[in-house]
Chains A and B, each alone.
Chain A
Amino acid sequence: MNQLGIPLLSLLIATPLLGAMVVLLTPRQATSMQRGIATVVSIINLVLAVIVRFSLAPTAGYQLVEQQTWLPAMGLHYAVGVDGISVWLVMLATLMTPLAIFAARHQPAGNQRPFYALLLVLASSLIGAFVATDLLLFYLFFELTLIPTALLIALYGVGERRAAATKFFVYPFVGSVFLLVSIAGLVYVNWQQTGVMTFDSVALSAAIANGTLKIDENLERLLFAGFFIAFAIKTPIWPFHTWMPQAQAATPDDGSVDIAGILVKIGAYGFIRFAIPFFPHASAWAAPAVAILAVISIIYSGIIAFGQRDMKVLLSYATISHLGFVMLGIFSQTAEGMSGAIVTMINSGITTGALFLIVGILARQPGGRIADNFSGAWLSAPRFGSLALVAVFASIGVPGLNGFIGEFLALQGAWISTHIGFTFIVFAVLGIIVSAAYLLRMYRTVFMGEVSVTSAVPEASNSELLVLGLLVVVMLVIGLYPQLILGNMQPTIAGLVQSLTQGATHP
């Protein structure tokens, strides 16, 4: 609760839900009305998120906390709060929703009411997952994100949409049932030792940091495994990634669903927020193995992306590659690495979101999503081409743009980390080179060369240029002044790292 007594975070969760209900009440054919409502609601939410950002004091710990008992017998609460980490992910989620609605403006005719309602429900569940401080509440939102996304793919997707939607749902769900078992186990162990039945993540991580809760080594590793499998699938990292390219090949061509749901990373957030603070020993123990998976993710997805002709699938692998850096940063368990990981998560959302938007614009041409069908787009659409080039550079990690700072910090953290070390960095840097190769090749194929006769790309519309331009501005601002994000995050990260080192000292 803030000084004014407005439950800002609940409002953030509730606004899209209410919006979704309003959308469902509109007449079936009133597509523009549905779009209008969804846009307005998502922009209101973005404004709310900005207000949340500015009402946050630069200190560690949750702020704007709201708490209501939910199931007292089990110690469950509806408890939400934000800190320097989650506020940026909330910002990202609220930014992506209007972007996704914008991307969807050329949806084929038909009943669009469920589309906008589901996008808003998805936004609400994502925000809920980022602000939940009660473990079960987090789990609830974590799983809830699956339903609207799977339905969006099944209803509005292309190609093998039902198979993709099923896999999209079931694969992460399989991981998350183990998370549920681990949550129950952690809460039970805490109850056994301290006599308090609580799902409060703050209380649990504090108990672990100050040594009141000591988990047996083997049990800790098993509980960590439950968290790991759920988050690793959701992130995703190799070899748990197969659902993601398949899902993204089946999402609507315009990229709306990818932007709204798949790019916003709850899995990686779960590692930072829950898995590592709860199990400091086990995560230190697992760090080298996770780092190996992360490096494989970076290089493997780079190589696979190189062979992709479908631009959406290529971007999907680019995302997996970004998340490899995120995982390296997180499991370095240093302040630098974790800050880098969070910045990379946000950057990956913004730049890959912009690239999905660009592919969506291209996909409206007869060439579709296949890069080889295009040629010389810069000549016919110079402004569109320039903005696309910036987005590609940002995704590669060219200094001066946002992608660089995150990956740099993540690698720096991994280097100085006692768990990982510089050998991994060598391979990760190879991954950066590969990513430059495939993204630039895609850019060259589409935008350079002679103007294609069959599939000439007209200049993007003014609104498209405006939105892309805004995204490019964000990329530049973060790239040139990363302190904007980092400064606010530092106290929280410092507190997190401190509690980790504290927790690790207790045998």
Chain B
Amino acid sequence: MAQIALPSIDYSVILQLVIVFGAAAVLLIVDLFVATTSKRITALLAFVAAIVALVAGQYGTTGSTLAGAVSYGPMSQLVNIIILAATAVSILLASDALPKQGIERGEAYILMLLASGGMLLLSQGSSVVMLFLGLELLSIALYVLTAIAFPRLSSEEAGLKYLIVGAFGAGFLVFGIALTFGATGYLTLSDIATHIPTSGIERGYFWVGVTMMLIGFGYKVSLVPFHMWTPDVYQGAPTPITAFMSVGSKVAGFVAIVSILQVLGNELMVLRPILIGVSIATMAIGSIVAISQTSIKRMLAYSSISHAGFVMLGVLSGDANGVHAAIFYLAAYTITNLAAFAVVMLLEANDGSDLTIADLAGLWQRHPWLSVVMSLALLSLAGVPPTAGFFAKFLIITAVWQSGLAWLAVAAAVASAIGAFFYVRCMLQMYSGDSESGEQARIPLASMVAIIVVTIAIIVVGLAPWTITSALALAQ
């Protein structure tokens, strides 16, 4: 019997993946020996693992390994930094918020680590199989995390909803992969790119396959019309988990979409009208429906849908400028959203019941610094200088102009103008209205560190955008 030749593995390419998955496996065992009341230790170890992986990214080598299935380059280096930083911050937030809600489970942090491993795989994957693997790893961990507030029904419901919709999306992806493989005969993205069928039934299979793969990821990043799960899941999941999935799976999902679209090369033009329609619908529905929300988490969910439309604008332009703008946007969105959810998390009641926008009234009197952080986050979501969100919006609009779609820039401007209304209304709510002479809840240390880091990041990226653009410039 012929031996199966195993491809050689260059561990320096998959260094971060090895660290994250290794740490998760080890921690699963370690967690058995951590007392239920001190799960903070597991959180701390998971945090350290994320930071170690973040630093290790500097020592990774550029290239591809595992027979071209996984690769590492300047782009994935930057995306991995975003993912791991978001993971680390989310773990810090969760280590305060989960025990507060009575969730003393060490596996939460390990699942977050596993999910971030899935995200890294999506960022580094250069074969469709790896993309599928990454998506599933990420999704399954997130299904469990969503439902982890066990006795609370809304969390159970959200978990189940997420599972069903997610499975649906994964089904699209697998079927799409099968069709693409059937049409081209290859699994690695670079091979698929050079073997796009030019005619015949294979071409039909190929386009159906690519579209289905995009739909699969469209679910993950909540593009319209695959967005229906987003508000319910965001609302039901424990807030630190919402924060984590709102940024992490969005970043990873979009990077996967970028990888798939890059395969198409000039053929992207075929799909462009559809992608434009999707992004306009996503921006419009996200911004318009957000106006009528009373729950902050639901509002942020619709806001995340609207932002997905913006990122899509950069992605669909198909050139380096657009992709860079999209990555910048994702980075800015990540830090901004983490800040917003961190504040929501600290203001929430212990039973995890929903925080409404009306609850923000008079926050300025109760928690001046939290209201400043929340204001910055909301201004950044609205794209007002001097915040990270402003430059993100600016780069997207410039990129859209450069790809010759000026009218689309106007559509983006309209959506951004609609968005400004509810962000600003929400922000000003904190500064007026009567303050209930309320409990001055102390901000726990870990959350404090996390909030300070993301708040500084919002301002720094807003005033010194080269902190991110210089890294993008390498990723030509």
Contact = CB atoms under 8 A, between A and B. Distances in A.
Given A71-B465, A162-B433, A170 B386 contact: no
A162 B428 CA distance: 6
A146 interface: yes
Contacts, number: 94
Contact of A166 (B383, B425, B473): B425
B449 interface: no
B406 A180 contact: no
B94 to A, nearest CB: 31
Interface string B386-430: 100010011101100110001001101110110011001100110
B295 interface: no
Interface of A, secondary structure class, is: helix
- Number of chain B interface residues as a range: 35 or more
B424 A180 contact: no
B401 A185 contact: yes
B385 interface: yes
B409 A181 contact: yes
Contacts of B385: 139-140, 143-144
Contact of A184 (B401, B420, B425): B401
Given A146-B384, A150-B424, A140 B390 contact: yes
B27 to A, nearest CB: 41
Contact of A181 (B413, B420, B421, B469): B413
A150 to B, nearest CB: 7
Contacts of B394: 136, 180, 184
B466 interface: yes
What is the predominant secondary structure among interface residues of chain B facing chain A?
Answer: helix
A381 interface: no
A422 interface: no
A147 interface: yes
B469 A166 contact: no
Interface string B52-74: 00000000000000000000000
B401 A144 contact: no
A102 interface: no
B229 interface: no
A155 interface: yes
A4 B397 CA distance: 41
Most chain A C-beta atoms within 10 Å of own C-beta, residue among B384, B416, B428:
B428
B379 interface: yes
Contacts of A161: 432
Nearest to B391: A71
Interface in A436-454: none
Nearest to B364: A155
A178 B410 CA distance: 7
- Tell which of A144, A150, A166, A187 has the most Cβ of chain B within 10 Å: A166
Nearest to A161: B432
A410 B410 CA distance: 34
A143 B420 CA distance: 12
B431 interface: yes
B388 to A, nearest CB: 13
Contacts of A184: 394, 397-398, 401, 409
A71 B469 contact: yes
A112 B343 CA distance: 25
B357 to A, nearest CB: 12
Contacts of B414: 177
Contact of A170 (B402, B420, B433): B420
Given A173-B417, A177-B416, A185 B409 contact: yes
A154 interface: yes
A177 B409 CA distance: 10
Given A74-B398, A173-B384, A188-B401, A180 B432 contact: no
B397 A181 contact: yes
Nearest to B425: A166
A165 interface: yes
A365 B172 CA distance: 72
Contacts of B425: 166, 170
A147 B427 CA distance: 11
Interface string A164-200: 0110011001100110110011011000000000000
A187 B321 CA distance: 15
Nearest to B418: A174
Contacts of A286: none
Nearest to A197: B398
Given A74-B398, A166-B424, A173-B424, A151 B431 contact: yes
A177 B389 CA distance: 13
Contact of A155 (B397, B410, B413, B432): B432
B402 A162 contact: no
Nearest to B400: A184
A169 B393 CA distance: 18
Contact of B386 (A71, A140, A162, A180): A140
Nearest to A179: B413
Contacts of A143: 384-385, 390
A170 B378 CA distance: 13
B398 A187 contact: yes
Contact of A154 (B413, B420, B428): B428
B397 A165 contact: no
Interface string B418-454: 0011001100110111000000000000000000000
Q: Which of A70, A143, A165, A181 has the most CB of B within 10 A?
A: A181
A188 B402 contact: yes
Interface in A273-294: none
A73 interface: yes
B288 to A, nearest CB: 15
Given A140-B385, A140-B386, A150 B428 contact: yes
A448 B173 CA distance: 82
Contacts of A165: 428, 431-432
B384 A154 contact: no
A434 B394 CA distance: 44
Interface string B462-476: 000110010001000
Contacts of A144: 385-386
Nearest to B469: A73
Interface in A116-156: 136, 139-140, 143-144, 146-147, 150-151, 154-155
A136 B390 CA distance: 11
Residue from B364, B410, B412 whose CB has the most chain A CB atoms within 10 Å:
B410
Contacts of B390: 140, 143
B75 to A, nearest CB: 16
B382 to A, nearest CB: 8
A134 to B, nearest CB: 13
A245 to B, nearest CB: 19
Interface string A202-226: 0000000000000000000010000
Nearest to A187: B398
A191 to B, nearest CB: 8
Most buried by B among A151, A155, A157, A222: A151
Given A144-B385, A173-B417, A155 B431 contact: yes
Contacts of A74: 395, 398, 469
A173 to B, nearest CB: 5
A155 B428 CA distance: 9
A165 B433 CA distance: 13
A314 B182 CA distance: 75
B331 to A, nearest CB: 15
A437 to B, nearest CB: 37
A144 B390 CA distance: 11
A166 B357 CA distance: 15
Given A143-B385, A169-B428, A180-B413, 13 more contacts: A73-B466, A73-B473, A147-B379, A151-B431, A157-B432, A162-B429, A165-B428, A169-B420, A173-B424, A177-B420, A181-B413, A184-B394, A185-B409
19 contacts: A72-B466, A74-B469, A151-B431, A154-B428, A154-B432, A162-B428, A166-B425, A170-B417, A170-B421, A174-B420, A178-B410, A180-B397, A180-B413, A184-B394, A185-B401, A185-B406, A185-B409, A187-B398, A188-B398
Q: Which 4 A-B residue pairs are closest in the complex by CB-CB distance?
A: A174-B417, A154-B431, A140-B385, A177-B413
